[in-house]
Structure 1
């Protein structure tokens, strides 16, 4: 007899367990509550306000007598979902389209700013309600705000707890965003005629010429105006600390530069921000008084005004004045 072989199949069983998914639900008879906030017809944004600047914040709204209670087992997620743009998990800034402005949901009574869904993945179990809670809506600058902008009315976002939304935040009417700036124009300064004998040695200066930069039609609400003097490609800096630029390429004079000073006759450093002395908050017209003079940049030689490299001729220079409205 030929011994037989018995094949006994061995079955490997992989046992898996699936964690129960937490699910939140409303208490019987409860549902969504929509809070309504009002914006003014227009909101002003200084043109150069830094990102993070708070543009507007509504009065606080307290919830009382609302039927939006819910119950959750442990392990649920919650947070805000933005109805006007993208939602980033854990982030508390919710972009309003591509306006350069975001909104925030303030939980005033607990001094917190609500974050994007899902913010927490292990929420505690219990029954929760909203009576006594306090809320406000804030607008924040987060990017470039150019042109005519409008923030729409309607739902801004929902507070999610898993798949349910006990509360929403809405605005009753749209608002226009006005980007604030003042009017300025190019300034041409007549430096007059000067004899070469006025520049016998290095550092010799011409008689100062006073001029001013006009800053007109400033709207109300600008907190601060700053200005910066910057060299141009045609008139690069010769000494930035002393506010001196080289003459431009159209000039025929040699050995001279142009120096810019404040009305106190102190040099204005190039590429440095200076603050307008007057407060622009009330709006109106302003003036920045300045002074300009020629400055001999050619080192002193043995021949005075006959030093090689010092020539009479036209002496023109260009300087940029950069205004910032904050």
Structure 2
């Protein structure tokens, strides 16, 4: 079984092939949660600090992210959302989903379960407030909207009340961004009988995510891993199969260098980055075959992963 994992400018892929067979049984765990005391209104403040944001980026690029937990949003481990109202620049209502902020060149978007709100839903994972570049120059300034931040950017109507999301903090434009080169990671061929039960791994290959030529001046640089094909629920770090895959019951799992499943869809700080010096950094990772099905057949296993950067 061989494997390669190409990484494109911001993307990487993984591929490999397998030979043999074996099986077992699979168990997944669900989670759950009971609300305690709830309030009718929750006020949440996103960002709230000095943000260093790239000065020149293509329109629509995500520049920074802020996460809001269900507990912060509705006082429970699960929130039921009935509706969302957007307020452009913290002022007039706007249809969205992308609205302007109080800073030239910077727009914002709210994601619930990874998507813009379209119909009643619930969430147990953090929702995300994004800052995006738009067609105007980034001139910097305060994110606080109309009336010095007393008007929200978003109002979320929940089953038990409302959540108001305000944005505060000051944006400072920085010239330049980091780069992430494309790469292909090839896993060694392996025998299917080494993957003798669901959850077993084999063919581990070390690789690094390179974050190169970062300029000085950012307070924080984050990277976000985004599987091509989407995150697989209850399967931490596992990539969906991509084109050319012929094996079944086997996928590729991405972990950190200690073997812990990689976190997908959440910005993680690039630890080595220093505001005073900038520079290039390597993030050690591993890729392995993972048995995912009770029945498996040999063949080629391919997966792909996008690496996205954000700045604060």
TM-score band w.r.t. shorter chain: 0.3 to 0.5
Give TM-score, length-normalised by structure 1.
0.45
Larger radius of gyration: 1
Give the number of the structure with larger relative contact order, counting CA–CA contacts within 8 Å between residues 6 or more apart.
2
Give TM-score, length-normalised by structure 2.
0.47
The structure whose residues are more often strand, as a share, is: 2
